[in-house]
Amino acid sequence: MTNGTADETAGEAAPLKVGAVVITMGNRPAEFRALLESVAKQEGPPIDVAVVGNGAPLPELPELPGEVRTVELPENLGIPGGRNVGILQFGPGGRDVDVLLFLDDDGLLPRQDTGRLVREAFAGDPGLGIVSFRIADPETGATQRRHVPRLRASDPMRSSRVTTFLGGANAVRTKVFQEVGALPEDFFYAHEETDLAWRALDAGWSIDYRSDMVLNHPTMPPSRHATYHRNVARNRVWLARRNLPAPLIPVYLGVWLLLTLVRRPSLPALRAWLGGFREGWRTPCGPRRPMKWRTVWRLTRLGRPPVI
């Protein structure tokens, strides 16, 4: 007589293997340790972790249940460069695992079911390529509008399909990297996520924003980075030159120039922004692979045409 329970167990698919990439400059050791401990507490199989010292020695690491892979880089490669090194710790394109989490070193996973939710999301939707987490302030629980990756951002508790994702609070199916390539290292900081998102969408993958997958992170202005205004402008130009059909490039960049002027930045910020804008036109942007027009239409149907 056949044992139905045994057959069902034998027929169940193995849970997806999840890894995590954390880059650090070693200047937030307490927060960094707390993040790794929150990863260790996730339900389900242990999550292997790759920790990258981005131009700095690594602080002391806590004991973790999964495998820990460490790298200390002699120089700061920027956010995309550091994360690409972390991906490689799991093999080319991260192929040793099914999904990689990318988490800021001063963040924290407040819930212990996030790893399970990630596995369920990717296992349940073979076309899902990227998940963007909700970022919440640890003191107030509030989510800033800029941390909701869609134009209609008034309700951060609403999950939806989106066209980009948040760099320090996300999960990516490693097949995406294997198919469309890694993050653009020359960007150093700013818009590298959108570059990967557009390439993933053009390859047919979907991106979800999930309000129930939460990373606690203190509220900070993005302009805290010294090169913020310059990099934002330069990389915006590179993003368009690399990914958009030629007729859309001047439209996209013209809209962002007007939006920047309407926001009335300080004179030093505007000078840095305009300098970066010029640099984006004058310097190499990397390989150009314009998205298909059907991807433009897909972005438009999702509520964010690639002109804004």
Q: Is residue 1 a part of any domain in this protein?
A: no
Residue 106: pLDDT above 60?
A: yes
Q: Are residues 120 and 138 in the same domain?
A: yes
So what's the pLDDT on residue 55?
96
So what's the pLDDT on residue 155?
95
Alpha-carbon span 127 to 207, nearest angstrom: 9
Residue % of the chain over a pLDDT of 90: 90
Q: Are residues 231 and 216 in the same domain?
A: no
Q: Are residues 20 and 37 in the same domain?
A: yes
pLDDT band at 227 (very low <50, low <70, confident <90, very high): confident
For the chain, how many structural domains are there in total?
2
Alpha-carbon span 34 to 4, nearest angstrom: 43
Residues spanned by the domain of 54: 10-220
Return the percent helix, strand and coil in the chain, to nearest 5: 40, 15, 40
Reference 52, options 16, 76, 17; nearest CA is 76
Q: Are residues 124 and 267 in the same domain?
A: no
Q: Is residue 308 a part of any domain in this protein?
A: no
So what's the pLDDT on residue 308?
82
Q: Are residues 238 and 285 in the same domain?
A: yes
So what's the pLDDT on residue 6?
43
Q: Are residues 52 and 162 in the same domain?
A: yes
So what's the pLDDT on residue 21?
98
Residue 251: pLDDT above 80?
A: yes
How confident is the model over 213-224, as pLDDT tens digits?
A: 999 999 877 655
Q: Is residue 41 a part of any domain in this protein?
A: yes
Reference 128, options 98, 156, 158; nearest CA is 98
Q: Are residues 73 and 172 in the same domain?
A: yes
Q: Are residues 52 and 103 in the same domain?
A: yes
So what's the pLDDT on residue 223?
55
Residue 117: pLDDT above 90?
A: yes
CATH number at residue 169: 3.90.550.10
For every residue of 284-307, DSSP letters joined together read ------PPPHHHHHHHHHTT--TT
Q: Are 133 and 169 in contact (CB under 8 A)?
A: yes
The domain boundary, picked from 220, 246, 263, lies at: 220
Q: Is residue 91 a part of any domain in this protein?
A: yes
Q: Are residues 147 and 65 in the same domain?
A: yes
Q: Is residue 307 a part of any domain in this protein?
A: no
The domain boundary, picked from 220, 238, 258, lies at: 220
- Decide: helix, strand or coil at residue 209: strand
Reference 307, options 132, 151, 152, 178; nearest CA is 151
Q: Is residue 133 a part of any domain in this protein?
A: yes
So what's the pLDDT on residue 222?
66
User: Which residue's entry shows tokens 């990630």?
Assistant: 118
Q: Are residues 82 and 33 in the same domain?
A: yes
Sheet holding 48-53, edge to edge: 68-72, 48-53, 18-24, 99-103, 169-173, 128-136, 206-216, 160-161
What are the strands, taking DSSP E only, across the chain?
18-24, 48-53, 68-72, 99-103, 128-136, 160-161, 169-173, 206-216
How confident is the model over 196-210, as pLDDT tens digits?
A: 999 999 999 999 999
How confident is the model over 254-289, as pLDDT tens digits?
A: 999 999 999 888 999 999 999 999 999 999 999 999
Q: Is residue 4 a part of any domain in this protein?
A: no
Reference 15, options 36, 41, 37, 46; nearest CA is 46
Q: Is residue 306 a part of any domain in this protein?
A: no
The domain boundary, picked from 220, 242, 265, lies at: 220
Q: Are residues 155 and 232 in the same domain?
A: no
Q: Are residues 215 and 269 in the same domain?
A: no
How confident is the model over 24-77, as pLDDT tens digits?
A: 999 999 999 999 999 999 999 999 999 999 999 999 999 999 999 999 999 999
